[in-house]
């Protein structure tokens, strides 16, 4: 099994930046496609970004394209999400996830999840 722990969330003003990290333990993440998702109360968990096992391929939700960047460091067993030009509508709990196989935008296809980290964008 893979255990995932997110960090780096917090309160930031509109236009600001945050970098989320997702530290994995239990197994190396090099065998897993990884993803970031986000959720606000009362709504479904939405896709944000996903990255292939070696980091060569990425996919982003249209709402974050050009502002967010997903990367991974398999040597450090860590996934990242650099978030720039943040907007109030980016406010949510952000989750990292891992799945065996190719990257995917469907949260239902992910096998392992972290506990989430809150991101609040407000002035």
Residue 101's pLDDT is 87
pLDDT < 50 stretches in the chain:
none
Residue 26's pLDDT is 94
Q: Are 102 and 37 in contact (CB under 8 A)?
A: no
Residue 102's pLDDT is 93
Residue 74's pLDDT is 96
């Amino acid at each position: 099994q893979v255990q995932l722990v997110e960090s780096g969330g917090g309160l930031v003003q509109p236009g600001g930046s945050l970098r989320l990290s997702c530290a994995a333990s239990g197994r190396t993440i090099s065998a897993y496609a990884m993803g970031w998702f986000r959720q606000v109360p009362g709504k479904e968990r939405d896709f944000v970004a996903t990255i292939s096992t070696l980091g060569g391929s990425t996919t982003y939700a249209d709402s974050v394209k050009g502002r967010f960047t997903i990367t991974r460091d398999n040597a450090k067993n860590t996934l990242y999400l650099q978030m720039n030009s943040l907007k109030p509508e980016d406010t949510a709990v952000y989750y990292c996830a891992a799945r065996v196989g190719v990257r995917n935008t469907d949260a239902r296809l992910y096998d392992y999840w972290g506990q989430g980290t809150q991101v609040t964008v407000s002035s």
